[in-house]
A and B are shown apart, each in its own frame.
Chain A
């Protein structure tokens, strides 16, 4: 049924740290790698080595330049995948029941055998989290690696989404956001985790941690402890250069 569950027992999701993400796209690659070989239809590419390549991805990393009122501009790398919203508009618009939100853990999934490829769910998602696969003609989206997180054939350390497991800068965290004592919930509380497009009313489960205040690039005098040692020790040349300098000044 594509009506949403009245509540979910857990809210599994991601916390993405915009402060530590270095924009390496490793999460994009590991996501594509895992999800093209596991749950559902492969993530196809069209014309991958040609002049006009495109393909299906469940996770993409944008980069933004943010210019404060005063001071240096900042570059923020911004990974974006399904936010597994509590009030997921993509689920309720589905005419076939292919889209659903799981009561037990809140993960939003697509039953690809029931998907007619109408694309309406992608229209309903404000985040661009759903992409139609051009080869399989069904809707693809982040599964929160549902085939990893409960997979007892994997070592316990690997039972997290592929993007989280691979992130070299620890910018991605996975856990239960309905439990206030979970690591991810504490991280959200400590760092002021935020929703994307809160005005859309989607109540996303995934949270984003805003970048911390940046280095004081415009206040170098106050923090540069080495500056006294690096200051020029002489500003008047001596010897032959001193004579040349004076001679040229006199000309």
Chain B
């Protein structure tokens, strides 16, 4: 799949932002006043910024309100609703914490649950795709959720939780890569089933329907990005998981915390880039490609 920068930025940053909102919502940290304002501002910048980045991906963002209508069937619609409701609920909760030094616990918990729900709906947009076997696994939502909560804990200064959740996310990342590398073969979709010609003999793409590129090849059959996959996996693992955990284990200093956050974001961006670049859509089979 084409690794669109807007989608990579959206899923990475808003995942972190909603993760931070979860911790703020359950009162960890339970700061008030200016400190709370800074925390909520970071959470809103990440979550809201990610949402705005995703709008750049749309052909007609001016019709965006329609995306709130199809929650009965569409995970994308559910995500849009969850995201906006979370931002609204947490805004009300933040007013209490920042301006009134009040902790409206039920509201905070509601916002926390909604924040996790938003990340879950995001992950389900990918998980539901039967056409992309690498994504179609319960490990996908598990990875997205653990990353969001782990990264959120890192941002929220919940070091002990981050030290549990980030290694967990790293383990899920490895498991996701492991099963993802086998998913396409396990899906059973081949050139033989795509063309129905497998009963005659072995099928080879002889001539594509068009001499130039097209939307399908640009969007779904992006093979260039896989060239450095192994190196990028190492970078993602080191920067996203190993280095932040190492920095958190060191005696506490704000500069280490900041470095851990920057390293984590860089690593997760690399991981998310691979999430798309390595994802093979079954339509590539019609072109004899993966």
Give the number of residue pairs across the A-B interface with Cβ within 8 Å: 198
Question: Across the two chains, which residue of chain B brings its CB closest to A73?
Answer: B201
Given contacts A54-B214, A56-B215, A62-B205, contact A76 B187 (CB under 8 A): no
Contact A95–B70 (Cβ < 8 Å): yes
Q: Is the Cβ of A80 less than 8 Å from the Cβ of B60? A: no
Other-chain contact of B194, A89, A97, A98, A197 (Cβ < 8 Å): A197
Q: Is the CB of B195 within 8 A of A127?
A: no
Q: Contact: B202 with A67, CB < 8 Å?
A: yes
Q: Given A116-B63, A200-B282, are A195 and B200 neighbors across the interface (CB < 8 Å)?
A: no
Chain B hits for A25, CB < 8 A? 209
Contact flags A74-114 to B (C-beta < 8 A → 1, else 0): 11101010000000010111111110000000000000001
A85 CB, min distance to chain B CBs, angstroms: 12
Q: Which of B189-207 contact A (CB under 8 A)?
A: 189, 191, 193-197, 199-207
Complexed CA–CA distance, A98 and B74 (Å): 12
Query: Contact partner of A2 among B74, B131, B197, B208, CB < 8 A?
Result: B74
Q: Is B196 a contact of A196 with CB atoms below 8 Å?
A: yes
A134 at the interface (CB under 8 A from B): yes
The interface bits of chain A over 1-19 (1 if a CB of B lies within 8 angstroms of the residue's CB, else 0) are 1111000000000000010
B131 to A124, Cβ gap below 8 A? yes
| Residue B57 at the chain A interface, CB threshold 8 Å | yes
Is A176 on the interface with B (CB-CB < 8 A)?
A: no
Measured CA separation A137–B73 after assembly (Å): 23
B164 at the interface (CB under 8 A from A): no
One of B45-53, B93-101, B122-130, B140-148 contacting the partner: B122-130
Residues of chain B within 8 A of A61, CB atoms compared:
209
Q: Are A95 and B197 in contact (CB under 8 A)?
A: no
Tell me which residues across on chain B come within 8 A of A138, comparing CB atoms. 59-60
- Which chain B residues (163-198) contact chain A, with CB distance < 8 Å? 187-189, 191, 193-197
In the complex, whether B210 has a CB less than 8 A from a CB of chain A is yes
Say yes or no for A64: interface residue by CB 8 A criterion. Answer: yes
Complex CA gap A56/B208 in Å reads: 15
Q: Does B90 contact A (CB under 8 A)?
A: no
A167 at the interface (CB under 8 A from B): no
In this complex, the interface size class of chain A, counting residues with CB under 8 Å from chain B, is 35 or more
Selected from B1, B73, B200, B212, the residue in CB contact (under 8 A) with A123 is B1
Chain A 115-133 interface 0/1 with B at a Cβ cutoff of 8 Å (1 = within):
1111110111111100110
Say yes or no for B76: interface residue by CB 8 A criterion: yes
* Contact bitstring A188-205, B, C-beta under 8 A = 1, else 0: 000000111111110000
Q: Can you sample 26 A-B contacts with CB below 8 Å? A: A2-B72, A2-B74, A25-B209, A54-B213, A62-B208, A64-B206, A66-B200, A66-B202, A67-B201, A76-B197, A93-B125, A95-B66, A114-B66, A116-B59, A118-B58, A118-B59, A118-B67, A119-B57, A124-B130, A126-B130, A126-B283, A132-B59, A137-B59, A198-B193, A199-B188, A199-B189
In addition to A76-B197, A95-B80, A137-B60, 14 A-B residue pairs with Cβ atoms within 8 Å of each other are A54-B215, A62-B208, A64-B206, A66-B201, A68-B201, A94-B70, A94-B73, A96-B67, A97-B70, A118-B57, A118-B59, A123-B132, A124-B131, A136-B59
Interface residues of B (CB under 8 A from A): 1, 57-61, 63-64, 66-67, 69-70, 72-77, 80, 125, 128-132, 187-189, 191, 193-197, 199-216, 219-220, 281-283, 286-287
